[in-house]
Amino acid sequence: MTLTPISSPILSFEFFPPNTPEGLVKLRATRQVLAALEPVFFSVTFGAGGSTREKTLGVVAEIAAEGSEVAPHLSCIGATRDGLAELLDDYRQRGIQRLVALRGDLPSGMVDRGDFRYASDLIAFIREHSDRTFHIEAAAYPETHPQAQSPQHDLDNFLRKCDAGVDSAITQYFFNAAAYFDFVDRVRARGCQVPIVPGIMPITNFTQLARFSDACGAEIPRWIRLRLAGYGDDVASLRAFGHDVVTRLVAELIAAGVPGIHFYTLNQPGPSTAIWKAATGR
Q: Give the separation between CA 159 and CA 151, rounded to whole angstroms.
A: 12
Residue 218 to residue 199: CA distance in whole angstroms: 11
Q: Are 10 and 18 in contact (CB under 8 A)?
A: no
Which CA distances in Å does 262 have to 117, 187, 198, 238?
26, 19, 6, 22
In the set 14, 38, 137, 219, the catalytic residue is 14
Residue 259: strand, helix, or coil: coil
Give backbone dihedrals phi and psi of 263, rounded to 5 degrees, phi first: -95, 130
Total length of the chain: 282
Give the torsion sign (CA, 240, 245, 246, 247). Answer: positive
- Does residue 14 have an active-site annotation? yes
Q: What residues are annotated to the active site?
A: 14
